[in-house]
Structure 1
Amino acid sequence: MSSTHEQDIPAAAVTASDGTENENLAIIARQAIVDANRAVYGYELFDRTTASNSHTAASDAALLFNALSHAGTEALVGKKTVFINCTHESLAGGHLELIHPDKVVLEVPPLADSATAEDIEARVATLDALRTRGFRLAFDQNVLKPSYVSWLPLAGFIKLDMQAFKPELAGTLVKFASIHSQATLVAEKVETSEQYQLMADLGVQLFQGYWFAKPSLVKATTIRPSRATIIQLINLVHKQASTAEIEDLLKKDPTLSFNLLRFINSSGFGLSCEVTSFRHAVMILGLKKLFRWAALLMTTSRAGGAPPAIGTTAVVRGRLMELLAAELLPPEECDNAFVVGVFSLLDVMLGVPLEKALASVALPEPVTDALLHGTGVFAPFLELTQACESGDEVAFAKAAEALHLSNRQVNWAHLQALTWAESLGEE
């Protein structure tokens, strides 16, 4: 639901003055959403860190992470509401657990034209759960179609694209939306005074478009810890280490502690007081959210000496293991499944034999059983994950059958995992 003309936002700004790509530069474009008095209500954010304008679950997570952790949050959005474009994959991502829902509006796209009524209905549970957690949802005018009737009561905002319908239909759309939803209406892609006046006269309250403001760029240099350090943190969380142990690691790595304090003090986290100590940060975040933060930080960190593709594969494995485990195991086991997947390539990432790599970290016995001996509850999930990578149809069929998972279940989980991690290969 981007209301900008993509080519007018200079993605080329990611390159340094010598023409090389600056890997430590986060670039976010923002466009104001204003009321009838032109007072800023909020900002829609767009990731411009890479030259690609592709929009994926991974880029959604990276945008939100960079907006809240790196880019000088107060300069970027101040106390205003943030509108973030989402994919349906990213709406199920754990990164949303890190965000104070009062601060963020999730812009939800319609499904593909080929989607069935069952496909549309199947999304309601996820959308309703997000709304119950306090997130407000924004939809475009497609939500006014009969096929999306189940989504309409969930709308906090409906964005009416002025380029998508004839002016004479505006009154009908506004009236229908007002009768059948409690949503605040936003006229977007407003490019003339006539378009503004038309919608204002119909009672529309919010406006976005070039007639008010073109997107502006906010740049910030990021400082990202090595992947090896983040793996150490994930390991401490998984063995439920004491606050003191986690604090020790934060003290040893200034980049890790800097990122954590900047994130937890961002407006998106929603605290009323500033956190200045590592111990306080760890206690407030809690182990579950600390794990989610570290996993997300890993997707935006450099691989160090390891090729970026190895980091991508490791995160794909972790995410796929987590998604497959969610089908069959209790929720508390899914995080361990993630670690099995990520750590299965620890030897390549760190340049040492796997047994030696694992000897330096404390892991739950079922995790080491799967990694070193191919036994235990997670072993068949790891076999299936590796079969997905290899393209070995016989091994795939055997592993899927052992877990009683259908090809569709596995292929869908694999697609989600690839989408989640694909930004790693672009760093």
Structure 2
Amino acid sequence: MSSTPDQDAPEALASPAAAPVDDNIAIIARQAIVDEHRAVYGYELFDRSTASDAHTAASDAALLFNALSYAGTEALVGKKTVFINCTHDSLSGGHLELIHPEKVVLEVPPLPDGAAQEEIDGRVPTLQALRERGFRLAFDQQSLKRAYTHWLPLASFVKLDMMAFKPELAAPLVKFATTHSKATLVAEKVETAEQYEMMRDLGVKLFQGFWFAHPSLVKATTIRPAQATIIQLINLVRKQASTAEIEELLKKDPTLSFNLLRFINSSGFGLSCEITSFRHAVMILGLKKLFRWAALLMTTSRAGGAPPAVGQTAVVRGRLMELLAAELLSPEDCDNAFVVGVFSLLDTMLGVPLDKALESVALPEPVMDALLHNKGVFAPFLDLTRACESGDEAAFAKAADALHLSNRQVNWAHLQALAWAESLNDE
């Protein structure tokens, strides 16, 4: 691999062939797109999670969803522009409604050779609608052909494949593209210094290829809710359920609520403030986008299967902390106490240290203090909750005494939490 300015790359695997096929692993290849100074402008992303090379509307949606939800764009691409390859079917997909248009460039392929002119021109309204929504479009050098005359004015980027034309055609192609469009040109598949220098001297501003950086594989561990829970969420949304009802479902399944908070706070969603509560997340998304999100989550989750025992324990912890906090704290603090309990087992769910797990989800500072440092207002409640699980009578007595709660109060709350968690499985 050649030298590259991409010094902060996450863990990369040796090669695509080495990538394991695992329901809980999203593997995304990224290749840097650099400017004439070799500073990273953005990254093109490719799905490497499956053994198949099939590129479909569903795989487009899954790639974008995984990149923004599971891997977290901060780890994957930081603040850089994301280039995503699209099929024409995926350009009208609902998953694009979940994405902040300024964050993503949609790479649109030409139609198959032999496509009728009416069919090529027939795609223009879809492309125009995407531009009007704020998306930038990238075409390859096929868009410089006469058949694509009506596409070219819609291009924000035109990618020139260095393997697809002879060096003597470079200057005419660049001149034609700059004369007939306002697109930024990208020289791709640049493999030699000579190719780079030739295109740079012709005024090309962006470059991509092995001479700069080979694609690196980013491995993102995922936690995915049971499909039955996601279907419950979809049904609630379809019947126009209240925010309170939807929030109640999110509180039942820590994997569902974790994925929602992580997604809505990803840079791809484009919010200027962090969302730290389930209720706020539901209100910000709205029912239409919540439905889109749940549908995408379902397509990328495993079929069947009950939540693992650790998820059940997390729910009990959350409910117990909420009930204990109700004796002493405000309603808002009770909500946060629930979050502390539910997310206290994320390290076990994800198989990574808790601080790393929490990097991709926004939580209030007192919640983070309790989870990471065992400090602050919620720490004594978490200690007591853990003591209830351990059977250590001395630890239980010490933790209960610290909160001035009687054995009867704590035992009643614990029984209520266990019963509540058990009732969730019966619904």
TM band (smaller chain): 0.5 to 0.7
Whether 2:274 is the aligned partner of 1:274: answer yes
Q: Could you tell me which amino acid in structure 2 is paired with residue 206 of structure 1?
A: L
Give the structure 1 partner of residue 29 of structure 2: 29
Matches within 5 A, 1:348-387: none
- Asked if 1 retains the 8 angstrom alpha-carbon contact of 2:237 and 2:287, the reply is yes
Matches within 5 A, 1:104-253: 104-253=104-253
> Residue in 1 aligned with 2:91?
91
Q: After TM superposition, list the pairs within 5 Å mapping 1:291-330 onto structure 2.
A: 291-305=291-305
Contact 2:25 2:219 in 1 (8 A): yes
Q: Tell me if structure 1 keeps the 8 A contact 2:16–2:217.
A: no
How far does the alpha carbon of each residue in 1:282-336 deviate from its partner, in whole angstroms, 9 at most, with x for none? 0000000000111111111111159xxxxxxxxxxxxxxxxxxxxxxxxxxxxxx
Aligned length, in residue pairs: 294
- Which residue in 1 is equivalent to 2:44? 44
Match among 15, 20, 31 for residue 10 of structure 1: 15
* C-alpha distance in structure 2 between counterparts of 1:141 and 1:114, whole Å: 17
Other-structure match for 2:80: 80
Residue pair 1:9, 1:215 contacting (<8 A) in 2 also: no
State the match for 2:336 in structure 1.
Answer: none
The verdict on how the C-alpha distance between 1:9 and 1:61 changes in structure 2, with shifts beyond 3 A counting, is farther
Larger Rg belongs to: 2
Deviation at 1:9? 8.0
Shift in Å at residue 12 of structure 1?
A: 3.0
Q: What are the Cα deviations for residues 206-249 of structure 1, in whole angstroms up to 9, with x where unaligned?
A: 00000111111111111111111111001111111111110000
User: Any idea what the Cα deviations from partners look like across 1:242-298, whole Å, max 9, x if unmatched?
Assistant: 111100000001011011011000010001111110000000000000001111111
What amino acid is aligned across from residue 178 of structure 2 in structure 1?
S
2: CA distance, partners of 1:142 / 1:77: 28
Aligned to 2:362: none
Distance in 2, matches of 1:140 and 1:12, equals: 27
Cα distance in 1 between the residues matched to 2:201 and 2:296: 45
Instruction: Write the distance in 1 (CA, Å) between the matches of 2:254 and 2:18.
Output: 28
One-letter identity of the residue aligned with 1:281: A
Identity of aligned residues (%): 81
Contact kept? 1:117, 1:147, Cα under 8 Å: yes
**Equivalence for 1:60:** 60
| Aligned equivalents of 2:63, 2:25: Cα separation in 1 | 12
Following superposition, the deviation at residue 13 of structure 1 comes to 3.3
SS in 1 for 2:156: strand
- Identify unmatched segments of 5+ residues in structure 2: 1-12, 307-427
Q: CA offsets, 1:374-404, max 9 Å, x none?
A: xxxxxxxxxxxxxxxxxxxxxxxxxxxxxxx
Aligned-partner residue type, residue 135 of structure 1:
F
8 Å Cα contact 2:226/2:305 also seen in 1: no
Classify the secondary structure of the residue corresponding to 1:59: helix
**Counterpart secondary structure, 1:62:** helix
DSSP-derived class of the 2:23 partner: coil
> Any conservation in 2 of the 1:100–1:268 contact (CA below 8 Å)?
yes
Deviations, residues 86-138 of structure 1 (Å, cap 9, x unaligned): 00001110000000000000000000002100000110000000000000000
Cα pair 1:29 1:215 within 8 Å, conserved: yes
Q: Is the 8 A contact 1:188 1:209 kept in 2?
A: yes
**Helix, strand or coil for the counterpart of 2:115?**
coil
How far apart are the structure 2 equivalents of 1:305 and 1:220?
22
Q: Report the AA paired with residue 178 of structure 1.
A: T
User: CA shift at 1:184, angstroms?
Assistant: 0.2
The separation in 1 between residues aligned to 2:172 and 2:14, in whole angstroms, is 33
Contact 1:14/1:25 (<8 A) preserved:
no
Tell me, in whole angstroms, the C-alpha distance in 1 between the residues paired with 2:167 and 2:19.
38
Q: d(CA) in 2 for partners of 1:304 and 1:254?
A: 17
Cα distance between partner residues in 2 of 1:114 and 1:236: 46
Q: Could you report, residue by residue, the CA deviation over 1:125-183 in whole angstroms, capped at 9, with x for unpaired residues?
A: 00000000000000000000000001000000000000000000000000000000000
The secondary structure found in structure 1 opposite 2:71 is coil
Output the amino acid matched with 2:179.
I
- 1:337-376 deviation per Cα after TM superposition (whole angstroms, max 9, x unaligned): xxxxxxxxxxxxxxxxxxxxxxxxxxxxxxxxxxxxxxxx
Corresponding residue for residue 335 of structure 1: none
Q: Secondary structure at the match of 1:70?
A: helix
Task: State the superposition RMSD in angstroms.
Answer: 1.3
TM-score (norm 2): 0.68
What is the rounded CA distance, in whole Å, between the counterparts of 1:9 and 1:186 in structure 2? 27
Tell me if the contact between 2:33 and 2:43 (Cα under 8 Å) persists in the aligned partners.
yes
